Structure 1
Amino acid sequence: MPHWSVYTGDSEPHDGIDRLPAPPPWRAFDGGPPLGSPGEPEDGSAVSPDRVHRAQTYVATSESVQLVNAALCLRRPLLVTGPPGTGKSSLAYAVAHELRLGPVLRWNITSRSSLADGLYQYDPLSRLYAAKQAARHPDRPTPEPGAGGPGQGGDVADHLRLGPLGTALLPYSRPRVLLVDEIDKSDLDLPNDLLNVLEEGQYEIPELIRAARHSAEDAAVVLTDGGDRPVTVRRGRVRCRAFPFVVLTSNGEREFPPAFLRRCVRLRLRRPDRAQLTDIVRAHLGEPDAAATSLIDGFLDRATSGELATDQLLNAIYLTGIAGLDTDSRDALAEQLMPYLSAAADGDGF
């Protein structure tokens, strides 16, 4: 592997991220004070059994290993495209697991997603309700400074939480992993809206900037995405220190603006061939027996007529393996477990 590589793709956790070469001069960030990376138990959703298993069993190709390292070294987002079920989102979890980068921050994109959703969420209605409650009960104790009380962005900070993108851009000493899943489902403006934030590695929170102008203190304590760890934001401005490892996934359903594409390292994942499928089955379920090998062959034959996902094959091998069926019954069940994901000509089974 090149001397600048830190990700190996072998799923064995290590601290190779500490050997990451210095960034290009135009991608060096100086946010601070530096924050330590959170431990995995701090975000229960990020360490769910499904995500942990995917991280530990991901089978990386030589091309994906090389381009992950390129994105890490260049401090650029990695745009991963490919058909459904080829492991686009799993790659983010595999990198975070191997390089010990903490829980993955996940932003699931819909047609209604906006840049603000990824940066932070502010609830003015809950703030208004809290203000009314405070007016009705003036004898209640005032929160201590630093706990969301007056003088530190106070009532504003109490009703604000950073989103996955906003959390990823905090000044962590090690890069966080941010998964922006299915960005091709966004409206036309979101990729362009992301350009400045990902290029500059920083953003502002206007609500906290306004609060700081009317306060003797310039710091607000806010919560981050995926956990209850508070962080301090000074004068409403956030700037990263270690640029996050950003994985943008797309099923290839749309084209992106050239200005957006030139700022990304691009990885195209293809349907795994027979050798890759065998490696994937081995990683998830152990050495494939004759029945599993037959199902792999049937899966490849069916995949020539329509869209199939690798996890459909894994489900079929697992279930038919514990069902104790004869060959015909096994193949019939496997075919039911592997319907085409898109319109295609009906096949004749295995």
Structure 2
Amino acid sequence: MTWNPFYVGDGNPRDVELGDPPPWRNFPREALHQKFQPPPGLIEAVNAALALRRPLLVTGAPGAGKSTVIEQVAAELKLGNVLRWHITSRSTLADALYRYDALGRIHAQRLEGASGSDNIAPFLHMGPLGTALLPAKRPRALLIDEIDKSDLDLPSDLLDVLERGEFEIPELARYRDDVVHVREWGSEARPPVTKGRVQCVDFPFIVMTSNGERDFPSAFLRRCIRYTMPTPTVESLRQVVAAHLEINEEQSHSVDSLIKIFVERLAAGESLAVDQLLNAVHVLTGVAAPKGEVTQNEQSDAQRIMQLVLRELSHA
């Protein structure tokens, strides 16, 4: 955990060793399930969702670990790789179920002519939700991330699929072959789909995350197990920092100062994410850290760096 002035600003080329990145910025990304510390009540909420075969709606501030919950559950219960559906204002239920490249198929038909095989399978693949609903020996784990970013109608559109656990692919329902092998989301596996119907055998474990930026219809909420991430405390943040970074005795005072400032700013109503705190601890502790005490008002090098990495999220 060191800080070095890699960039000087004089325009002179030089060989610079950038050092090791923070553990959470190593690529390919490392799974964080072993480092996640479930807050009080979350274990019970997960078990309720698993027992009732209901989605778990987790609400909390950015960086609170909402999306890490499903990684830990999937690892502990051996549910396989987590399927991910990241929501934007343009996300639709249809895209999450399956994708069909109609133009690609028309183009292939023209190239092959009348003698072509007209195989539809290469132009279809499951979306993340569709893959989660495919019959499997073990339920799949699906993350629906930031559902509050969706179009207003999407939560309501989800209701029927979440209740019935099935859907139809019309292009396959009217296709000449009863069985078509369709590629899964994020995999080369091609399970069979019969007569265009996808019906889950065991309902997937679904975690939906929300930053609390909007309200949802009551019909949607009653079909979910709901959990709100608690406001971070000094003690809980100490555990988070210790899980991600190795803090020695010499660094503990500086780390505690950063944590207390972070909690004070949260209490004052500022919007900050826990990963910002981890960034600050990584940069501002260690042998080559910026000089100066980290305080709320002193303009030391360390203070200026802290203002960069702990900048309030609701401001540009």
Is the shorter-chain TM-score for this pair beyond 0.5, marking a shared fold?
yes
Give, in whole Å, the separation in 2 of the partners of 1:49 and 1:202: 34
Identify the match of residue 266 of structure 1 among 226, 234, 248: 226
User: SS of the residue aligned with 2:312?
Assistant: coil
Give, in whole Å, the separation in 2 of the partners of 1:229 and 1:240: 17
Give, in whole Å, the separation in 2 of the partners of 1:325 and 1:343: 25
2:292 equivalent in structure 1: 327
Within the alignment, does 1:120 sit opposite 2:92 as a pair?
no
Give, in whole Å, the separation in 2 of the partners of 1:48 and 1:90: 17
1:207 equivalent in structure 2: 171
Give the alignment of 1:33-182 within 5 angstroms: 49-50=28-29, 52-135=30-113, 138=115, 155-182=119-146
Identify the match of residue 301 of structure 1 among 244, 251, 264: 264
1:234 equivalent in structure 2: 194
1:255 equivalent in structure 2: 215
Deviates more, 1:330-339 or 1:104-113: 330-339
Identify the match of residue 245 of structure 1 among 205, 223, 233: 205
Q: What displacement does 1:247 show?
A: 0.6
User: SS of the residue aligned with 1:247?
Assistant: strand
Counterpart code for 2:243:
A
Conservation of the 8 A alpha-carbon contact between 2:283 and 2:289: no
User: SS of the residue aligned with 1:57?
Assistant: coil
Identify the match of residue 190 of structure 1 among 154, 164, 168: 154
Which string of whole-angstrom CA distances, capped at 9 and with x for unpartnered residues, describes residues 6-64 of structure 1? Answer: xxxxxxxxxxxxxxxxxxxxxxxxxxxxxxxxxxxxxxxxx9643x3432311111311
Which string of whole-angstrom CA distances, capped at 9 and with x for unpartnered residues, describes residues 69-95 of structure 1? Answer: 110010000011112121111112121
Conservation of the 8 A alpha-carbon contact between 1:160 and 1:222: yes
2:241 equivalent in structure 1: 281
User: SS of the residue aligned with 1:58?
Assistant: coil
Q: What displacement does 1:343 show?
A: 4.6
- What is the TM-score when the length of structure 1 is the normalising length? 0.76
Counterpart code for 1:109:
I
Conservation of the 8 A alpha-carbon contact between 2:31 and 2:71: no
User: SS of the residue aligned with 2:67?
Assistant: helix
More helix by share: 1
User: SS of the residue aligned with 2:134?
Assistant: coil
Identify the match of residue 253 of structure 2 among 279, 287, 290: 290
User: SS of the residue aligned with 1:85?
Assistant: coil
Percent of pairs identical after alignment?
49
User: SS of the residue aligned with 1:225?
Assistant: coil
Give, in whole Å, the separation in 2 of the partners of 1:188 and 1:179: 19
RMSD: 1.9
Conservation of the 8 A alpha-carbon contact between 1:307 and 1:342: yes
Number of residue pairs matched by the alignment = 279
Structure 1 residues 337 and 55 mapped into 2: Cα distance closer, same or farther (>3 Å)? same
Give, in whole Å, the separation in 1 of the partners of 2:75 and 2:254: 32
Which string of whole-angstrom CA distances, capped at 9 and with x for unpartnered residues, describes residues 229-288 of structure 1? Answer: 111111110111121110111111111111111100001112211111000001000246
Give, in whole Å, the separation in 2 of the partners of 1:313 and 1:109: 25
Segments of 5+ residues of structure 1 without an aligned counterpart are 1-46, 143-149, 345-350
Structure 1 residues 199 and 224 mapped into 2: Cα distance closer, same or farther (>3 Å)? same
